[in-house]
Amino acid sequence: MKYIILDGKLIKEKSHDYLKKVFDFPEYYGKNLDALYDCLTDIGVETQIELVNSEYVSQDMIDTFFDASLESDFLYFICDD
């Protein structure tokens, strides 16, 4: 299983550029919540994502990670709130 720890402070500072780098999203990544959802649900390897410092991240983004984890058999999402 792949483990990814996301820092909410870095998401707030660098937003989708940070996410694109951490997840190695393709060049065409649209840098919005719909594109994030699409790329997360395309992950084909068991991956656990843990979000720390979640108070810096919008509820919409947290919901996007949660919804993607419900849709994907490979994605597990943990939030520190």
Number of structural domains found in the chain: 1
pLDDT one-digit tens code per residue, 31-71? 999 999 999 999 999 999 999 999 999 999 999 999 999 99
CATH of residue 46's domain is 3.30.370.10
Q: Is-contact 39 23, C-beta < 8 A?
A: yes
Determine contact, residues 39/25, Cβ cutoff 8 Å. yes
Range of the domain at 47: 2-79
Q: In the prediction, which pLDDT does 5 show?
A: 98
Sheet-wide strand order for 2-7: 2-7, 47-52, 75-79
pTM recorded for the entire structure: 0.94
